[in-house]
Amino acid sequence: MDNKKNKQELEVSINFDTTPILYTDNISVTSNDHGIIFDVMQRVGSTNKVRIVSRLGMSRSHAKKFITECSKLLAITEEQKRDESNN
């Protein structure tokens, strides 16, 4: 099935009461031959300690797609910021 068609058919449902947004100010990425693991962390107050708030694992091929999509989104939003500051 075509990827674009598959994305259009996907309906996402989210329960905001049980699915909070977890802010991160630190991240650790590890990998092996099978995949990538992101340990998403928050600094604990003004200490030098961090707390892992979420762990995300994915295949290497999915990680490549993830990075590509993040890069596209960052490029779009950076362009929007430049346009707004020029107006």
Residue 61 located in a structural domain: yes
Give the residue numbers spanning the domain of 43. 22-86
Q: What pLDDT score does 84 carry?
A: 87
Nearest to 37 by CA among 52, 51, 58: 58
Residue 44, in any domain of the structure: yes
Which amino acid, 46?
Answer: S
What are the pLDDT digits (tens) for 3-45?
555 557 889 899 989 988 888 999 999 999 999 999 999 999 9
Q: For residue 53, tell me if it sits in a domain.
A: yes
End-to-end CA gap in the chain: 43
Q: Residue 68 domain-assigned?
A: yes
What's the pLDDT at 3? 52
Total-model pTM: 0.69
Q: How many domains does the chain have?
A: 1
- Which tokens is 45 given? 């107050």
Please report whether residue 40 resides in a domain.
yes
Mean pLDDT calculated for residue range 66-86:
93
Look up residue 21 and give its two tokens: 């947004």
